[in-house]
Each structure stands twice: as structure tokens, then as C-alpha cells.
Amino acid sequence: MLPIEIQSLSRSYGRRAALIDLSLTVKSGEIVALVGPNGSGKTTLLKILAGLLRPGGGRVALFGLDPFRDRVRVMARARFAFAPPALFDNLTAREHLRYLIGFHGDHRVSPAEIDQALELVGLTERSRERVAVYSLGMRQRLALAQALLPLPDLLVLDEPTEGLDPLAVLELRAVVARLRREHGVAVLLSSHLMVEVEQLVDRLLVLSEGLCVYLGTPSGLTEGACGLRVVAGDPKRAAPLFRARGATVSELKDGALLVRGVDLDLKAALALLEPAGVELRSFSHYRPTLEQALLERLRAHTAAGRRDA
């Protein structure tokens, strides 16, 4: 049974659609990132997976079970950490872990494992202080520690790096990578940090207004956004010449043209522009960062939505 299987999932709040026809599968040992702007449906998706919301349509299964109806059985294998981290403020970090593990009935976790989890997230020294005095970063670390005990088969992390310092982000990345490598844990994480996503995840699900606008590898997203960066003497005259060759042309922030969908080398570009009297000043390959590629994809989706409307 796959850790996550979603088929044609939809969900609305009144008339507003929060998720539309979403499909996704996550295999054991796979790390998938969930990205998208605020209100894109990320939290709705995570809450449906946690059995806290019912799907409006479609099918959702975690380890082959319906998370709303079989929540108890699902939670025996899956662990969630929602943002902002909600914790019992009157308990210490150590008590937190002990009591939450106690929810697993006969599942025993030794004190040494609790110590190990606390050490892993750097809370050993302050583990006997009440959580009420913790900073956001410390709360985030404890939320991660509680999600690791007992070790789950599926880990779902909502904005796990929020409030963490750069060193802690690095440590978190190492922890997640180790969980996958050594224990085959499947991880679904929602994040705004593209650097973290690019270095950690196998696949990426981009949501915008409840729709999946991209599902694939991070490199697939950047490659799809690659093109030619052309600086022409007269960009307004150069753009139609490229379009006539079947290219899509857009303007970059520095005024250069981004030409996509056509295979041109320098010689062919010169042959296209020079007869029309347009000077070619610069010609190079354009490879955006993951963040740029994501923003372009989201902008394109928003623009398409406006056109449809």
C-alpha cells in the first residue's frame, strides 16, 4: 500500500473551490514538496490527509485507508506537524514526548529514544522547561521531535523551517534525508523555501488556486522554463520576428527578451534579426533558478485564469 494515494480530489468551502481535481501518489522513501502561494490549498490538502477534513470529491487513501474514517489506524503509521506548531504550553519538552508516545497504546519508546530525539533537534539542555517559554524556533524543533516518535512510515511537515535559524534548517534537512535513507520514510512537506526544496525533494507539487500547476522534479520545472536570453537593439521589432518562427517571447526584468519554444543558435539568430535591421547585442542560454521558474509558472497560471475569466 502506498503511503499517499490521491485521485481527482476536490474540496470547496461554500462556493470557493479550495482544491480542484488533484491527483498525487507518494511512494515509500520519497520526499515530495508541496508549494504554492497563500490560499492555494496546501493546508486544506494536509488537513484532508490528516483526516481533519472530508474530501468534497475524489479519493484519498493513506496506506490504503480513508484518513477521515480510519484516522486512528492511519495515525499509527503517519505523523503530522502543522504550522504554527501547536503544543501543550504547560508541559515540558520531555513530558510532551512521553505523553504523546503514550497515545500509541502498547507502543513503547525508551527514555533513551526520547533523549535521542531531543538531542537530534537540539533541545536536550532545555528539555525540562515548560514549552510556554519556548521561542518559535524551539517550538518548531519540538514539533519535529514529536513527529519522529515513534518512527512513522509517513511524515507530513507543514512549513517545517518557519522560525528556524539557517543552521537548524541544515540540520532539519539532514534529519529528513536520513529518515528517507535509513528508514524509507515517505515525506510530504509544504514549504516556501525553494533552496530547501531543491536540495531535498524528489518531486514537487505546485498548487495555485486549488489547481495543480506542476507535478514533477524540481529540475523538470527549471528546464521547462529554460530558453534563450536575447538582448536586441530594438526589442519591440525583434519580438515579432521570433514569434513568426513559432517562439513564445516574454520580457525579462532587465529588458532582455526571453525566447522559448524554438531551437536557435547564434548564427540562426543573426540570420533572423540582421536582415530586418535589428542589432543583436547579446545571445545566451537562460536557466532560471527554481524560485524564478516557480514564479513564472504561477504568473502564467494566474494570467491564463484571467484570460479565461
Partner 1 sequence: MIGRLEIVRLWRSRRPLIAACSLLFFLVLMLVGFYTYARAETGGRAEFRYTYENRSYFNGLTFALYAFYFGFLLILPIFIATEGGAQIAGDTSRGTLLLSLTRPVSRTRLFFSKFLLSGAFSTLLAGGFLAVSLGVGLLAVGWGDLDLYPGVLQMTDRHQHLEQQQALARFLLAWPAASLALLAPLSLAYLFSSWVKNPVNAVGLAFSLYLILYVIAEIHFFKDLRPWLFTTYMPYWRELFQERPDWSQVSNQALRLSGFTLLFLALAFRRFRRREER
Q: Which residues of 22-50 are buried (b: 16+ CB within 10 A; e: fewer)?
A: bebebeebbbbbbbbeeebbbbbbbbbbb
Question: Nearest distance from residue 63's CB to partner 1, in Å?
Answer: 13
Distance CA 73, CA 118 (A): 26
Task: Decide: 21 and 215 in contact? Cβ < 8 Å.
Answer: no
Q: Is residue 57 within the footprint of partner 1 (CB under 8 A)? A: no
Span of 21-29, 65-73, 233-241, 243-251 interacting with partner 1 by CB under 8 A: 65-73
Which three-class secondary structure state does DSSP give residue 60?
A: strand
Q: Is residue 47 within the footprint of partner 1 (CB under 8 A)? A: yes
C-alpha cell at 309: 475569466
Nearer to partner 1, 90 or 110 (CB): 90
Q: Is residue 229 within the footprint of partner 1 (CB under 8 A)? A: no
Span of 23-31, 96-104, 181-189, 268-276 interacting with partner 1 by CB under 8 A: 96-104
Q: Is residue 144 within the footprint of partner 1 (CB under 8 A)? A: no
Q: Is residue 105 within the footprint of partner 1 (CB under 8 A)? A: yes
Nearest CA to 156 among 77, 72, 251, 263?
77
Span of 101-109, 191-199, 244-252, 280-288 interacting with partner 1 by CB under 8 A: 101-109
Which three-class secondary structure state does DSSP give residue 165?
A: coil
Q: Is residue 17 within the footprint of partner 1 (CB under 8 A)? A: no
Among 63, 80, 134, 242, binds partner 1 (CB under 8 A): 80
Among 102, 240, 261, 305, binds partner 1 (CB under 8 A): 102
Q: Is residue 72 within the footprint of partner 1 (CB under 8 A)? A: yes
Q: What number of helices (H) and strands (E) belong to the chain?
A: 11, 13
Q: Is residue 110 within the footprint of partner 1 (CB under 8 A)? A: no
Nearest CA to 135 among 158, 174, 106, 168?
168
Span of 1-9, 23-31, 93-101, 111-119 interacting with partner 1 by CB under 8 A: 93-101
